Amino acid sequence: MLQEMLSSDPALEVVGTASDPFIAREKIKELHPDVLTLDVEMPRMDGVTFLKNLMRLHPMPVVMVSTLTEKGADVTFEAMDLGAVDFVTKPKIDLVNTFEEYTQEICTKVKTAARVNRQMLERQYNRYVANSNARPIVSRALPSSVDSRTLGVPNKLTTDAVLEKKAFNSRHFRTTDKIIALGASTGGTEAIKEVLMRLPANTPGMVITQHIPAAFSLPFAKRMNTVSEMTVCQAEDGQQILPGHAYIAPGDKHLLVERDGARYVCRLHDGPPVNRHKPSVDVMFRSVTQNVGPNAIGVLLTGMGADGALGMKELQEAGASTIAQDEKTSVVWGMPGEAVKLGAADYILSLEVIAQKILDLASH
């Protein structure tokens, strides 16, 4: 089925398939593929064990294929720790009606994986090595032969489909509380972790939109809660945004920030996808622009596409401080790169120093 889906895209060629990791190992040596799709569950060796060996000996872009379960999510996030670029979930039901949509998703993610910053994959794996007993990379990947073709995608709705554009309401109850709004996509689960690990428990309240399936957002929030001094949870409708807490958008709802008197609260919106994403970073940023204005700090991390770039420009124009991850440390410099092109980023920083800049801006 995967072979049929990938072969339907003229920009992709399936050069080989393997029924287990031992066959895959020999075919990778023989065929030198640009990208590997790797099932989490395989005979003779599980996908994560194979990925560890692959990233050590022959680091290359990998898209994981995962079951849509909490256990599948945990294993997939472990694979992202190891340097996998992205993942798709196996369709469970109604494949006849979702075949075209699923085909577009996996083809787009494979083409994106072919263009990723490969040094970032090596750095990601070596960070994993530093925190475990794994062995470091011993050889470098072959350069990719895939060019930067434009990805074919359908028309998309703008933020207006969910939230009408309007200026920051300065008549709100006065408050000096800061709100941090952070968006990410491809490579973002690891980038968000790197930021949250460096933030102390007294950090201002944070809202996070990461493009992620609905079944994976709660396991992701739980995972982030274990690595951060902040309390990290999946956002709930009407939940008050408190200092020292981070609220991650559910994978099937837009996350908005609203004012309730002198308080900020989370609002979940079941509107249509914006920029083909639900949750959308642009939607979250616009709500923060309108309700937080100059007290906001906007952050855009690694990700494919342009979701969040226009929203970051709106934040900046409302007086908020804005940060974009730099190209060198991004797995895919799509979303932050588009923000930089728009002049929407006050600061363009490497991933390792973004948390400190957030704290510096929050203290002013």
Q: Round to whole Å and give the CA distance between 101 and 103.
A: 5
Give catalytic status of residue 237 as yes or no.
no
Q: Are 16 and 31 in contact (CB under 8 A)?
A: yes
Q: Are 282 and 310 in contact (CB under 8 A)?
A: yes
Tell me which DSSP letter residue 50 carries.
H
Q: Are 94 and 154 in contact (CB under 8 A)?
A: no
Strand order in the sheet with 245-248: 231-234, 245-248, 205-210, 179-184, 296-300, 321-325, 347-349
Q: Report which of 132, 92, 100 is spatially closest to residue 5, judged by C-alpha positions.
A: 100
Q: Round to whole Å and give the CA distance between 344 and 333.
A: 15
Q: Report which of 144, 140, 190, 122 is spatially closest to residue 36, judged by C-alpha positions.
A: 144
From 39, 58, 81, 211, the catalytic residue: 211
Q: Residues with Cβ < 8 Å from 16, sequence gap 6 or more?
A: 27, 30, 31, 33
Give catalytic status of residue 363 as yes or no.
no
Residues pairing with 333 in the sheet: 303
From 66, 185, 217, 228, the catalytic residue: 185
Q: Round to whole Å and give the CA distance between 248 and 260.
A: 20
- Longest Cα–Cα distance of the chain, Å, equals 66
Give catalytic status of residue 211 as yes or no.
yes
Q: Round to whole Å and give the CA distance between 233 and 218.
A: 8
- Between β-strands 254-260 and 263-269, what pairing exists: parallel, antiparallel or unpaired? antiparallel
Residue numbers annotated as active site: 185, 211, 307
